């Protein structure tokens, strides 16, 4: 997307967030659903196809523009970003990176127009450990038969299509070549979606199990038309997904800090605003410093990704820092609010609950630390 057009879009999005999305948060909290009118508006704004090439009906944003958009978008309640980001950051990315021309032509326009997608990697007994994956895809005639269960799948209760990772070999193969990716329309016979899980926070964002029992798919349902590349497509998509989560955590930390800044200027103690107290100022300053650091890390990782660099390590690092930073910021915000921060009628309590998941999904802090260290040690060994 042209930079001037992008800046105009960003300004329009910022106004939309403050004038439309933030006022709608109360309804989302009460109903656990994004209002249909807002879903329609987000489709009209092109928020489901931000990185989809223009030839397929998308906005054609590069990764830097997408990550900045996610940061802006995440100033509002997390559910608004969540419903769009699986489309944009993960499923559309997988189609762009690994889909056949026919798959791109069929699915990218539909996803850009706002059909909802899910990304099925995690299972009851496995997440990042692909060797433990139990979902299988077995050849049958000219097609495939899928069996298995995927867990904690965002958008599953209302998704139109899911990109499902399944093992096409019983043995765990090098470079995860036993895992392939399958395009699964959610109305396919044999698919059952579990009840939407009750969560700690992030109202309006829904996750559920996807259960597959003898799900029959045509031969061209395998992404890229080739076995053994599903996990590679998934992990490349996860780089974008992890930067998106980092951007979400950073945007939400900014929202929480702005809330604390406003409260600290309004709340008085000992006859003056608590913003005048130096230890309150320290918490505000520390939060500003950490948000800025996260913004810089995300900008750098996204710029490198646009330049064609392998950003697996830097995307993981940015996600870890931003998500842990957000946790520290919302904790300080509750502290600045004092007793009011523990009450559900104030925003600080919601910010605290909403932010906790950022350190878990798209790779926990701990699994990403292991991944970062593994790549560091591998590079060291190669240089020795």
Catalytic residue positions, numbered: 362
Q: Which residue has the tokens 């710029």?
A: 303
What are the DSSP calls for 201-255, one per residue? S-TT--EEEEEEEEEEEEGGGBGGG-TT-HHHHHHHHHHHHHHHHHHHHHHHHHH
How far is residue 199 CA from its own chain's centroid?
16
CA-based diameter of the chain, in Å? 80
Which residues are within 8 A (CB) of 379 and not within 5 positions of it... i.e. 6 or more apart?
none
What stretch of H or E contains 147? strand 143-154
- How many Å apart are CA 165 and CA 158, to the nearest integer? 19
Which residue, among 124, 194, 130, has the nearest Cα to 167 in the 3D structure?
130
Dist. CA 311–CA 317, nearest whole Å: 10
DSSP state of 157: G
């Amino acid at each position: 997307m042209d930079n001037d057009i992008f800046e105009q879009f960003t300004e329009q999005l910022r106004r939309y967030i403050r004038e439309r999305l933030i006022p709608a948060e109360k309804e989302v909290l009460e109903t656990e659903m994004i209002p249909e009118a807002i879903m329609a508006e987000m489709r009209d704004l092109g928020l489901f196809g931000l990185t989809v090439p223009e030839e397929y009906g998308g906005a054609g944003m590069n990764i830097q523009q997408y990550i900045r958009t996610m940061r802006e978008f995440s100033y509002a309640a997390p559910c608004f970003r969540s419903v769009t980001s699986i489309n944009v950051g993960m499923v559309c990315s997988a189609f762009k990176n690994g889909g056949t021309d026919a798959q791109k032509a069929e699915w990218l326009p539909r996803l850009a127009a706002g059909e909802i997608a899910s990304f099925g990697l995690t299972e009851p007994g496995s997440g990042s450990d692909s060797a433990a994956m139990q979902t299988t895809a077995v050849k049958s005639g000219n097609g495939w038969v899928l069996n298995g269960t995927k867990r904690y799948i965002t958008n599953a209760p209302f998704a139109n299509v899911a990109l499902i990772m399944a093992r096409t070999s019983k043995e765990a193969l090098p470079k995860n070549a036993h895992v392939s990716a399958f395009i699964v329309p959610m109305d396919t016979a044999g698919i059952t979606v579990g009840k939407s899980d009750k969560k700690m926070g992030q109202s309006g964002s829904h996750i559920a199990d996807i259960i597959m029992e003898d799900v029959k798919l045509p031969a061209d349902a395998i992404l890229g038309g080739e076995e053994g590349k599903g996990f590679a497509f998934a992990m490349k998509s996860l780089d974008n997904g992890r930067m998106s989560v980092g951007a979400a955590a950073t945007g939400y930390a900014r929202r929480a800090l702005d809330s604390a800044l406003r409260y600290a200027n309004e709340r008085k103690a000992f006859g003056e605003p608590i913003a005048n107290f130096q230890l309150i100022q320290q918490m505000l300053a520390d939060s500003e410093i950490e948000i800025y650091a996260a913004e810089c890390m995300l900008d750098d990782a996204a710029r490198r990704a646009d330049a064609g660099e392998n950003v697996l390590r830097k995307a993981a690092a940015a996600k870890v820092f931003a998500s842990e930073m957000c946790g520290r910021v919302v904790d300080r915000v509750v502290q600045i609010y004092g007793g009011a921060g523990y009450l559900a009628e104030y925003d600080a309590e919601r910010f605290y609950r909403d932010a906790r998941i950022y350190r878990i999904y798209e790779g926990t802090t701990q699994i990403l630390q292991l991944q970062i260290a593994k790549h560091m040690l591998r590079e060291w060994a190669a240089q020795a």
